[in-house]
Amino acid sequence: MKKILVTGGAGYIGSHTVVELTEAGYEPIIVDNFSNSEERALEGIASILGHEVTCYRTDCNDAAALTDVFEKEQGIAGVIHFAAYKAVGESVAEPIKYYHNNIGSLTTLLQVMEKFQVNKLVFSSSCTVYGIPDQLPVTELTPVQKANSPYGNTKKICEEILTDLAVSGSDMRSIALRYFNPIGAHPSAKIGELPLGVPNNLVPFITQTAAGIRQELTIFGDDYDTPDGTCIRDYVHVVDLAKAHVVAVDRLISGKADNIEFFNVGTGTGNTVLEAVQAFERATGEKLNYKIGPRRPGDVPKIYADVTKATEVLGFKTTSTLEEAMQSAWDWQMHLQQTSSKA
């Protein structure tokens, strides 16, 4: 059973990927500093799998601590690097925080990987590297543009670091997955998106509003050049996204990957924010209290993926509908309410 180190493995996408890795026959090892996650995710993972997963409370910017993990877990076959700050709006307000953490954690991790001769990496990238694209849908050949936020710029810079490493003669093999908008939760409702404080992402705000935790949902802008004036996004179920990471690991382990490869991970379909709200209402039967607010700094008006490359090269395609993702997110919200009421 091959060991895969998963940084940020207690986070939203990381926790779902840990489950999918285990079910695919890998042994995930979690590294997480819990700055933007909670330990209850580990309990959820254990409940789904029937056993605990090894986890180290470690910051990826701490080279000594990372070294200790690699020394204890001999034979790590590859790494999936999720650990990063991820809120667009916060990155606009606190850019230095984002540059220090997101770029520093990658370079520190790469140095430790080199020391232990671990040369397979799946990098958690983002469609934000495309900035405001001139044409839609975006392909992997769509020009990477000036990022619309410091968060997006950290992903762009990290991709450049991996590209520079690839042409340097290093034996590192990297796959950067550029994902679009992850939503939803595991069908067991035992893990899901768990924002600390006020959510930065749309769907947790939707579910918290429907549950009465938030008074109303604010939709940021209705004057964009889209069918209903709200932003367009490609909403991908988090379980589909997690499975894409397993497929990427398979490709690296098999030796098929080039020095550096990029893949879009989305559904290939764009939906407006209002369409997403309506999909939630249809799926759950819950009516949302929402209002239109001003545009939010750093938001891209519209973006969705061309997924041809992922389909043809990775053999990967998403299977879940927008309504299914919304229903799973609502089930997760209900699970959180039930468990908190028993506490």
DSSP structure class, residue 143:
P
CA distances from 194 to 34, 96, 339 (A): 12, 24, 13
Whole-angstrom distance, CA of residue 320 vs CA of residue 241: 10
- The residue from 151, 179, 224, 235 that is catalytic is 151
Kindly state the helix (H) or strand (E) to which residue 175 belongs, with its residue range.
Answer: strand 173-179
Residue 125 makes CB contacts below 8 A (sequence gap 6+) with 155, 158, 159, 176, 177, 178, 179, 262
Instruction: Map residue 283 onto helix, strand or coil.
Output: helix
Identify the CA nearest to 138 among candidates 328, 267, 306, 282. Answer: 306
Q: Is 235 a catalytic residue?
A: no
| DSSP alpha helix (H) spans, the chain | 12-23, 40-49, 63-72, 88-93, 95-98, 104-115, 150-166, 202-210, 238-254, 273-284, 308-309, 322-342
Residue 146 makes CB contacts below 8 A (sequence gap 6+) with 131
Whole-angstrom distance, CA of residue 224 vs CA of residue 1: 50
Are the C-beta atoms of 118 and 78 separated by less than 8 Å?
A: yes
Structure tokens at 161: 């670091």
| Catalytic center residues | 151
